[in-house]
Amino acid sequence: MALSTGSNFIKPDDAFRAIVEAHRGLSEEQSADLNAALVLILANHIGELEVLDEAIALAKRQMLQASQQQQQQQ
């Protein structure tokens, strides 16, 4: 199975909203804990190390690109 990077949701905005709403009212620490738990649950659901490795690499690339863009804007 290859990593799917396109939206698989019929209503992607609803999925985004659900994630945002899950964080409402949480402290920064609780929010980070929720993210960590969600990542582990979804990684287990994927169940394939190759796909997980690909997702981790993509997330790191996106994070580094966003960080570089922020630095360039300053």
Per-residue pLDDT tens digits for 30-52: 999 999 999 999 999 999 999 99
Please tell me the predicted confidence (pLDDT) of residue 74.
Answer: 87
Average pLDDT value for the chain: 96
Average pLDDT over residues 16-34: 98
What confidence category does residue 64 fall into, taking pLDDT thresholds of 50, 70 and 90?
Answer: very high
Q: Long-range contact list for 49-55, CB < 8 A, 24+ apart?
A: 50/1, 51/1, 51/2, 51/3, 54/2, 54/3, 55/3
Predicted TM-score (pTM) of the model is 0.80
